[in-house]
């Protein structure tokens, strides 16, 4: 059975929460695993609004230390404490994040009742952060004003499904079944060869999701996120504000479309919209001029990968 792989957008604005839009936060669900990508202000309110069970989150990934990407984190951790959470939590983020969090709780005299593990991300190259049974999470460098990483969630090969009609005609041992499901040809003690391609169904293509929070236009991203099934790329500005985008190390929607095309992505999801745009149709049109499979992210919307 193919596990569900989807993201729910909780916030898609940039520095100021206006026009009914909230700061960056996304819930990624892979099967029974829940991940949080960035944790902007209002994340908890949005999660409750859209009936997201935040208690199931075990791993949090923070791209960088600009407030619109992490200022909701202290509140979330505090809520976990008040709810008497016991499950350990791992937070992946840039240098200084652990100091910010621990300093807050020290000065508020809060003794967190569950284990928090901090893992510092690096901005030198692509790095494996999390290796689970069915998926992996990598960080990769983004070019922004301060150290920033994107995140790539990549599916791993699972167990193959057996062709029951063929297996039932054979007296195949448990060892043989395990071998075939793992994708390894099996040689029985009687000398019979059971080929994976004959006794199992082909595996579906592996899926991936790339999250690019804040970055200037950077063609080298293709080396890290090539051919992602779904690419979320910041599109803070329109072309009329391209100079502003460069000065603030952000991208235009058109540039996001160029990146998606360059990387060979299947679909582009736009977000991190500037507060200067009350309406977003213009950003969508500019992105689609480069990459037709572009879509505006919508808060509360779940996107299947």
CA distance 262 to 190: 53
* Contact in structure between 196 and 183 (CB atoms under 8 Å): yes
**How far apart are alpha carbons 227 and 86 in whole angstroms?**
39
68 is catalytic: yes
**Tokens at 60, concatenated:** 């949090």
Determine the Cα–Cα distance for residues 257 and 244; give it in Å rounded to an integer. Answer: 18
Degrees to nearest 5, angle at CA 213 with 33 and 156: 35
H or E stretch at 27: strand 25-30
Calculate ∠ Cα 127-119-226, nearest 5°.
25
Q: Which two tokens stand for residue 14?
A: 């940039």
Q: Annotated catalytic residue: which of 4, 38, 68, 229?
A: 68
Residue 253, H or E segment: helix 253-263
HSE-CB for 78 with a 13 A CA cutoff: 14
Token pair of 120 as six digits: 């510092």
Exposed, middle or buried, 53 (CB in 10 Å: 0-12/13-18/19+)? exposed
> Distance (Å, rounded) from C-alpha 146 to C-alpha 168?
60
109: left (phi over 0), alpha (psi -120 to 50) or beta: left
How far is residue 102's CA from residue 121's CA, in Å, rounded to a whole number? 17
- Burial class of residue 45 in the structure, from the number of CB atoms within 10 Å of its CB (0-12 exposed, 13-18 middle, 19+ buried): middle
Question: What positions carry a catalytic annotation?
Answer: 68
């Amino acid at each position: 059975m193919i596990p569900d792989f989807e993201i729910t957008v909780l916030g898609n604005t940039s520095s100021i929460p206006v026009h009914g839009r909230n700061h960056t936060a996304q819930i990624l669900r892979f099967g029974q695993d829940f991940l949080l990508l960035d944790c902007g202000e209002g994340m908890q309110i949005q999660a409750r609004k859209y009936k997201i069970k935040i208690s199931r989150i075990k791993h949090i990934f923070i791209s960088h230390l600009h407030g619109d990407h992490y200022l909701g984190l202290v509140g979330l951790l505090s809520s976990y404490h008040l709810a008497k959470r016991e499950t350990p939590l791992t937070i992946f983020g840039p240098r200084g994040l652990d100091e910010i969090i621990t300093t807050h709780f020290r000065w508020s005299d809060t003794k967190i009742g569950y284990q928090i593990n901090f893992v510092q991300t690096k901005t030198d190259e692509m790095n494996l952060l999390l290796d689970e049974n069915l998926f992996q999470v990598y960080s990769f460098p983004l070019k922004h004003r301060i150290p920033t990483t994107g995140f790539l969630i990549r599916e791993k090969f699972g167990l193959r499904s057996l062709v029951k009609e063929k297996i039932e005609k054979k007296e195949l041992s448990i060892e043989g079944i395990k071998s075939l499901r793992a994708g390894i040809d099996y040689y029985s003690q009687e000398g019979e060869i059971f080929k994976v391609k004959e006794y199992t169904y082909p595996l579906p293509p592996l899926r991936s999701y790339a999250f690019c929070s804040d970055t200037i236009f950077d063609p080298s991203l293709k080396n890290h996120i090539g051919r992602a099934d779904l690419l979320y790329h910041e599109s803070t500005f329109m072309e009329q504000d391209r100079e502003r985008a460069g000065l603030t190390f952000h991208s235009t929607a058109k540039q996001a479309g160029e990146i998606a095309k360059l990387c060979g992505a299947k679909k582009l999801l736009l977000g991190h919209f500037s507060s200067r745009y009350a309406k977003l149709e213009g950003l969508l049109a500019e992105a689609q001029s480069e990459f037709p499979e572009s879509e505006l992210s919508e808060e509360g919307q779940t996107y299947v990968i």
